[in-house]
């Protein structure tokens, strides 16, 4: 009798697991169809282009802020941190161009240029807002000027936070070298510095996702309501990054054939397009899950 009861238990657990997988598949598929219905592909292209256009102005703002604290080299380190999670085939050419822009900006008095850079960088934030508003099926009622000020605030906050993280990353090897001189026995734990850098790169992905899903679009959402879409976004970003990096490693020459000297920005644009599509899909997934929960709650009340 005992083996039978064990078998029955495993069978019930297997059926429960299968039902759960079917529900996850159904919700994920519904989110994809809703993504299509909400013109997700078109909005993703808008986000990708806006992000690429906002990237260089953002780093100019970063350079200006770094110059104010007398540590302009931190802007270069910040750029490296932002691109840390990108495939090398994508980040390499872009990071070189960003470095050239930042070197050109060093030593210049950025006044009106910073104001314009703030405005153009905030356009990237606004594109994310449009995508999430569409995904969560909410209508924006706040005045446009207030939204623009809010987006500029996000840009400044992101720049300050990024500089702070960059400072910690730069400081970590110096602290480790000092500790190593005083306590040579800790040398086997040398990879802790690499861990700090990877952890920082992870923070740069996770924290902004929570911030934009929670506060950027109209309406209010609880943290537990945005976690599924964020987890799905991070997982799909990881898969897309590995896949796209592998593809470029084997077929990057095709972009050179098609786009000649524009190959590098086009590669970055395509990568951002896929990244933006996944980002919007995360919002759609949260919206579908919220809809299913509301329907279940209504059915339970009846």
Domain count of the fold of the chain: 1
45 pLDDT more than 90: yes
Q: Considering the domain boundaries, does residue 77 fall inside one? A: yes
Q: Considering the domain boundaries, does residue 5 fall inside one? A: no
Q: Considering the domain boundaries, does residue 13 fall inside one? A: no
How buried is 136 (Cβ within 10 angstroms: 0-12 exposed, 13-18 middle, 19+ buried)?
buried
Q: Considering the domain boundaries, does residue 7 fall inside one? A: no
Domain of residue 164 covers: 26-301
> Do the Cβ atoms of 244 and 274 come closer than 8 Å?
yes
Q: What integer is the mean pLDDT of 103-123?
A: 69
Q: Considering the domain boundaries, does residue 4 fall inside one? A: no
What pLDDT digit, counting tens, does each position of 167-178 carry?
766 666 666 677
pLDDT of residue 77: 73
Of 272 and 162, the one with more pLDDT: 272
Q: Considering the domain boundaries, does residue 111 fall inside one? A: yes
How buried is 212 (Cβ within 10 angstroms: 0-12 exposed, 13-18 middle, 19+ buried)?
buried
- The answer to whether the predicted template modeling score (pTM) of the entire model surpasses 0.85 is no
């Amino acid at each position: 009798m005992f083996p039978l009861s064990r078998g029955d238990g495993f069978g019930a657990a297997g059926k429960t697991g299968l039902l759960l997988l079917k529900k996850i598949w159904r919700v994920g598929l519904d989110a994809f169809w809703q993504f299509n219905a909400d013109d997700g592909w078109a909005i993703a292209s808008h986000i990708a282009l806006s992000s690429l256009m906002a990237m260089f102005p953002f780093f100019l703002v970063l350079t200006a802020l770094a110059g104010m604290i007398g540590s302009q080299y931190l802007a270069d380190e910040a750029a490296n941190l932002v691109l840390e999670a990108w495939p090398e085939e994508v980040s390499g050419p872009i990071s070189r161009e960003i470095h050239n822009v930042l070197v050109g900006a060093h030593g210049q008095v950025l006044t009106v240029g910073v104001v314009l850079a703030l405005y153009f960088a905030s356009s990237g934030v606004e594109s994310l807002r449009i995508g999430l508003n569409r995904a969560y099926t909410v209508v924006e009622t706040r005045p446009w000027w207030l939204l623009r000020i809010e987006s500029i605030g996000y840009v400044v906050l992101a720049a300050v936070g990024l500089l702070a993280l960059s400072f910690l990353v730069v400081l970590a090897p110096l602290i480790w070298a000092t500790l190593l001189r005083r306590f040579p026995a800790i040398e086997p734990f040398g990879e802790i510095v690499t861990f700090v850098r990877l952890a920082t790169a992870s923070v740069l992905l996770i924290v902004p996702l929570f911030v934009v899903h929670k506060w950027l679009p109209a309406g209010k959402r609880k943290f537990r309501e945005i976690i599924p879409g964020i987890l799905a976004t991070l997982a799909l970003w990881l898969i897309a990054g590995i896949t796209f990096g592998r593809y470029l490693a084997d077929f990057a020459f095709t972009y050179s054939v098609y786009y000649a000297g524009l190959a590098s920005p086009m590669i970055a644009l395509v990568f951002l397009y896929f990244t933006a599509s996944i980002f919007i899909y995360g919002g759609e997934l949260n919206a579908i899950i919220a809809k299913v929960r509301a329907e279940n709650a209504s059915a339970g009340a009846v």
